[in-house]
Amino acid sequence: MQITAIVTAYHPDALLRGVVESALAVCDAVVVVDNTPRADGAEAADPLGGLVDPRVTVFGDGGNLGLAAALNLGISALSDKTEAVLLLDQDSVLPDGLIESLAKDLDDPSIGIVGPSPVDAATGKHYETLAGRHQQIDDRDLVITSGMLIRREALAKVPGGFREDFFVDYVDVDFCLRARRNGVRIVRDMSLEMPHSIGDVRTHHFLGKQVRVGHQAEWRHYWNTRNGTILIREHVRRNPVWAVTNALFLARWFVFIVLFEPKRVSHGSAFLRGFADGLTGKLNRRFIPKGAEYRG
């Protein structure tokens, strides 16, 4: 199976080169889309630290297209020989044997998308402790972006590709939900693990217990809540279990902001603005990060 990896980057560090090298070891080609904005007149930095390989294509004009547009740009660069697409984050160095095993899962023609089980890169713990852990191949509504292996035919069943008006958050969720709606089978291989970093995670104490909480910029709170709310509205009738679960997730997130976020007023306001815009489908352009080229 010929596989092309698409790696998206935003202010990457030296680890990006390791990610690309790990992908080159198991993929036929790698497309890197660098979303790092740069000031007018500034020279373009080399995101790969001097790595030169004819199998690597790099896109990046100094603007931030957003995650969805970056993924769509990478998909547009696929060769006709590509049979499956591997999506990777800039810190996702591939464990040995992972891609070979995921590709083997796609030997089952009923499977269109497969992903590994994500584990916390800091603790090594699974993000899910119960759901689906008793089965090796577990049917899912979605799998996360990094480590997602998509059969080429499955891409054609999701019109428009990744949703560019979502810019960054819930891009993978929307893609998978639409794929499922169009008959694509999505599975997670629970025997395979993929380390995944969720950014600035801090340990807090509440009622005598330790609570690990992810902290994000205000604009990320806005996009997460806006996009999550939009998807709840769009899928509550088709997939009520997912919609209710996601609503509870967002509610818990707001509680965490109130309890543990040092700048709880501004971050809470961004959350509530995102919720309101998610209900109406509007967009507050104040939350588009500087240097971004929003295409929604």
CA atoms of 72 and 70, how far apart (whole Å): 5
What is the pLDDT tens value at each position of the chain, 296 positions in all?
Answer: 999 999 999 989 899 999 999 999 999 999 999 998 876 556 667 888 888 899 999 998 778 889 999 999 999 999 999 999 999 999 889 999 999 999 999 999 999 999 999 887 767 777 664 444 557 899 999 999 999 999 999 999 999 999 999 999 999 999 999 999 999 999 999 999 988 776 677 777 777 787 777 788 899 999 999 999 999 999 999 999 999 999 999 999 999 999 998 899 999 999 999 999 999 999 999 998 876 767 66
Q: Which of 89, 90, 28, 35 lies closest to 59 in space, CA to CA?
A: 35
Distant-in-sequence, close-in-space partners of 269: CB < 8 Å, separation ≥ 6: none
Q: Which of 85, 187, 174, 191 lies closest to 143 in space, CA to CA?
A: 187
Question: How many helices (H) does the chain have, and how many strands (E)?
Answer: 8, 10
Terminal alpha carbon distance of the chain: 34
The amino acid occupying position 214 is G
Do residues 55 and 31 make contact, with C-beta atoms less than 8 angstroms apart? no
Torsions phi, psi of 257, nearest 5? -60, -45
CA atoms of 5 and 59, how far apart (whole Å): 14
pTM of the model: 0.91
